[in-house]
Chains A and B, each alone.
Chain A
Amino acid sequence: MSLMDIGAVELGKKISSGEVSAVDAAKDALAQIGKVEKDVNSYVTVLDEAAIIKRAEEVQQGIKDGIYSGPLAGVPVAIKDNMCTEGILTTCSSKILNNFKPMYTAEAVINLEKSGAVIIGKTNMDEFAMGSTTETSYYGPTHNPWKLDHVPGGSSGGSCAAVAANECSYALGSDTGGSIRQPSSFCGVTGIKPTYGTVSRYGLIAYGSSLDQIGPIAKNVSDCAAILETIASYDPKDSTSVKRDSYNFSEALTDDVKGMRIGIPKDYFGEGLDDEVKSAVLAAVDVLKDKGAVVEEFDLSLVEYAIPAYYVIASAEASSNLARFEGVKYGYRAEEYEGLHNMFKKTRSEGFGAEVKRRIMLGSFVLSSGYYDAYYLKALRTKALIKQAFDKAFEKYDVIIAPAAPTTAPAIGDSLSDPIKMYLGDIYTISVNLAGLPGISVPCGIDSKGLPIGIQMIGDCFNENKIIQTAYAYEQTREYVSCGLCR
């Protein structure tokens, strides 16, 4: 048996009780990486084995000395490669950061380190988190551990695949339009996108600043609650960080949904939704109904406007956020150029991949003179309407349930040819980012191709506990199913 077979909190208990050591855990993660990484490609960087073991030993000593007492002390974790880690290569899966070693560590990662986390490596992603398949990485695509010729989803595909393939106990991802929830569903793991402002963005390399949020990816809901408790904090370095009344998410782990008001948006179950996904999600809803939840269908409205609004806002912000990469201060610089502006252009044209360039071009265009009102302001107004629609829904419901994605994981190479089709894959997750809401994706079945299906639960702002409670109650009715690579 590998220590990576069990959940992060369970492993943490074994380590703190002395049953196993942090070093044993790290070694099991490394052993599995040795076995499957060549097929899965979850990581951009796996840290040096000696450094990992040394850190595990330090943490083990720290547990003994009472420095680390949290549930995750000594547990191996993987970090998405868009979070800065001091002295450790941080690439955003882009060529333009192929040699970038940050001088500081992201706040969320610092919070993990303070609780005794042992970092195993940095995970692969869509370049700058732009994509839904982890195929746009400069360092090659990540493969879905369930079926290697399928994508793991994205953009946190490396993190989700690493958790699903037992290459770590848990991982951090980031979610701008579904980038934690969708790959979690594709890989059969659990992921939470917290309320905007819950986890500090300091040190998260920005894609769409008003939408980005870091969150946990793990084998089960309890793990996610414990991880979120560890990484969430009010951070004065992030002006959009929110001081919350409570950071206790584990208190929601009660197997009780009696009277929980669940809304099923009819608009999320219509055309475009795969039949197998639909029946798996509705079957899960029935389970909750049986446990006493009050389920009702309703019209959320505006669903089809979320994606266009999102692409305007995210691309506009990205075009500005990614302007800093031009070969002066860090990262790649073109080898041949003539003069300053040519150096900027060459560096960026050679350093960014096709999807990133596509979004930078679109974002620059929608902000350009004469188009700002028609596109950017229109998108911000649409966002306001979407937020209003959710506000209205949450007057009636505690939790909104939807699929995490319209299909299970597509085959590698199927999505990139048609961007619009790829963007449509985010239809159930994107509104949540626009409205700043929390959402969780939990496995709820396997389709006939043998690929996992995820159910998404959406809560009102700062109501993570409602979705954690609902997800936990549902999770108690089924076993964690691991992929073939882990058996």
Chain B
Amino acid sequence: MSKEYEVVIGLEVHVELATKTKIFCGCSTEFGGAPNTHTCPVCTGMPGSLPVLNKQVVEYAASVGIATNCKINQNCKFDRKNYFYPDNPQNYQISQLYQPICINGGVEIETEKGGKKTVGIHEIHMEEDAGKLIHDEWGESSLVDFNRSGVPLIEIVSEPDMRSADEVIAYLEKLRMIIQYLGASDCKLNEGSMRADVNLSVREKGASEFGTRTETKNLNSFKAITHAIENETARQIDIIESGGKVVQETRRWDDTKEYSYPMRSKEDAQDYRYFPEPDLVPIVISDEWLEDIKSRQPEFRDAKMARYAEEFDIPEYDIDIITGHKKLADIFEQTVALGANPKKVSNWLMVETMFLLKERGQSPEDVSFSPENLAKLIKLADSKTINNNVAKEVFAKIFDEDIDPEKYVADNGLGAVSDEGELKAVVEKVIAANPKSVEDIKAGKVKAMGFLVGQTMKEMKGKADPGTVNAILKEHFKEYM
């Protein structure tokens, strides 16, 4: 490479909102379900049906706008975006072009050099999601399922402010954190509730004009986003270096083959003929309504970190990790509220939860156990009803199946034996069976006591409290100590 290039990236991030119903009808947004079982005349584009806007969508969109420092357009409208595609039942999508709900915002991210920079948000608009096409691998046809048709989305359009894949990931993580804190979406990339399209161009370092950009779609993970950015940057530089011109186009990322290809055929003019949606009336967000939404904004991460430092005696490192994910912070607070010791709750989240997430290939958003069961587990361990090893084993069950630990321990006879009489009998049996060790102890080799503890635990199938066993042995050999 003879010249130095700079990559310029802007993102269009689609986020599915966590409403119970679709944006324009009373159908459930629940994920899954047999094809077309969450549909009605409105979300299947039946002739004569009309949309009615879900108020919660406006509130979520405005709350995301407020949290990302946008100006809220107090007079906003919906427009129709016209294009033919079979997952789009009306062959137009109700979206916002001329007066989107939020404009001119931005979020601060940390750059790889440890600095900070602001990524501008051009606008956030509300729109409806499309249905799903299932392609028959062998046959001549595709199947259309409208269960997702009409699920509310916000599209967050950034300014072309990012200069690397790392910045893109930092921006996405920041958005995800904010939106999760708001409860406006679970933002799962792998399930499609958060999707990012990458607008990318390259230019010679120092140039003032932007190069021609492409848009890459179908990116379902941070890894895919990173790879697609690297791939597209190299592709564009290659074109320029060889004297060619980058064509403005939409490209689709193939995650298995790790390359992108142009998406549209000549049948797609990409002329969307937007015009104001005549079936919906304008939205006017009064000062009072806006204040009301603002007053209901939740505690964001910075505030939460400060409060944790104040309220809970846990290390800064723990606070950083726990508040890094709304889900973890929620479980932490709820478990502590049930009376559990904050440090102990933190330990379970920081160590075992993280370990299991990693082992299961999941992210903190996927955590699904209830704080009640974690609190019960901590209580069982505190009261020495179970020992640490058993507690870990039970926690894995809670993590996977959210079982009730009290019931589970009782049903499986995992409670530690704390009856000294019973323990003493076993210890004496072990002493009798290991004369060599006894000799060693008597000879002053106190280490041999560890072996007897181990043997006792083995005899007890792990259900004894090692501390108690140790104490009994010490008592037995106290004249040699």
Contact = CB atoms under 8 A, between A and B. Distances in A.
Contacts of B47: 84, 90, 92, 97, 100, 102, 205-206, 324-325, 330
Contacts of A90: 47
A480 interface: no
B90 interface: yes
A326 B46 contact: no
A328 B278 CA distance: 24
Interface stretch (A30-38, A244-252, A366-374, A418-426): A366-374
Contact of A202 (B49, B53, B86): B49
A320 B273 contact: yes
B50 A239 contact: yes
Contact of B82 (A210, A236, A367, A376): A367
A329 B39 CA distance: 13
Given A323-B90, A367-B275, A239 B48 contact: no
B48 A320 contact: no
Interface in A222-247: 236-240
Contacts of B472: none
Contacts of A209: 278-279
A320 B81 CA distance: 9
A202 B48 contact: yes
A103 interface: yes
B92 A239 contact: no
Contact of B86 (A317, A328, A330): A328
Contacts of A330: 46-47
A205 B53 CA distance: 20
A330 B47 CA distance: 9
A317 B82 CA distance: 11
A449 interface: no
A320 B80 CA distance: 8
Contact of A364 (B46, B49, B144, B273): B273
Nearest to A316: B275
A240 B267 contact: no
Interface string A97-135: 100101110100000000000000000000000000000
Contacts of B50: 201-202, 237-239
Interface in B278-309: 278-281
A369 B45 CA distance: 25
A324 B275 CA distance: 17
B47 to A, nearest CB: 4
Which secondary structure dominates chain A's binding surface?
loop
A324 B91 contact: yes
Contact of A210 (B44, B51, B273, B278): B278
Given A103-B41, A368-B271, A372-B275, A204 B48 contact: yes
A47 to B, nearest CB: 19
Interface residues of B, number: 30
B85 to A, nearest CB: 9
Contacts of A372: 273-275
Contacts of B273: 319-320, 364, 367-369, 372
Contacts of B247: none
A367 B97 CA distance: 14
B65 interface: no
Contacts of B337: none
A487 interface: no
Interface string A287-331: 000000000000000000000000000001101100111101110
Contacts of A376: 275
Contacts of B105: none
Interface in B241-255: none
Which of B47, B51, B86, B271 has the most chain A CB atoms closer than 10 A to its own CB? Answer: B47
B451 interface: no
Which secondary structure dominates chain B's binding surface?
loop
Interface string B77-95: 0001010101001111000
Contacts of B52: 236-239
Contacts of B51: 239
A203 interface: yes
Nearest to B140: A339
A127 to B, nearest CB: 14
Nearest to B45: A324
User: How many of chain A's residues touch chain B, expressed as a range?
Assistant: 35 or more
Given A237-B52, A368-B273, A376-B275, A329 B82 contact: no
Nearest to A371: B273
B53 A239 contact: yes
Interface in B7-55: 41, 44-53
Interface string B51-82: 11100000000000000000000000000101
Given A83-B48, A239-B51, A369 B271 contact: yes
A340 interface: yes
Contacts of A204: 48
A344 interface: yes
B86 A340 contact: yes
B90 A104 contact: no
Contacts of B280: 239
Interface string A260-299: 0000000000000000000000000000000000000000
Nearest to A343: B86
A81 B11 CA distance: 47
A235 B86 CA distance: 30
A323 B48 contact: no
B89 A317 contact: no
A323 B50 CA distance: 15
Nearest to A328: B86
Given A83-B48, A328-B144, A340-B86, A323 B278 contact: no
B91 A323 contact: yes
Nearest to B51: A239
A84 B48 contact: yes
Contacts of B41: 103-104
B161 to A, nearest CB: 27
A341 interface: yes
A240 B274 CA distance: 20
B279 A323 contact: no
Contact of B84 (A83, A100, A203, A326): A326
Contact of A329 (B45, B271, B275, B278): B45
Given A240-B279, A326-B84, A206 B48 contact: yes
A347 B82 CA distance: 18
Nearest to B266: A341
Contacts of B91: 323-324, 326
Given A316-B275, A368-B271, A106 B48 contact: yes
Per CB-CB distance, the 6 closest pairs between chain A and chain B, nearest first, are A323-B91, A367-B273, A209-B278, A210-B278, A203-B48, A205-B47
8 contacts: A84-B48, A204-B48, A239-B53, A317-B278, A323-B84, A341-B84, A367-B274, A367-B275
Interface of B: 41, 44-53, 80, 82, 84, 86, 89-92, 144, 265, 267, 271, 273-275, 278-281
Given A320-B275, A364-B273, 19 more contacts: A90-B47, A92-B47, A202-B49, A208-B278, A239-B279, A240-B281, A317-B278, A319-B273, A320-B80, A320-B82, A323-B82, A323-B90, A323-B92, A326-B84, A326-B91, A330-B46, A340-B86, A341-B84, A341-B267
Interface of A: 83-84, 90, 92, 97, 100, 102-104, 106, 201-206, 208-210, 236-240, 316-317, 319-320, 323-326, 328-330, 340-341, 344, 364, 367-369, 372, 376
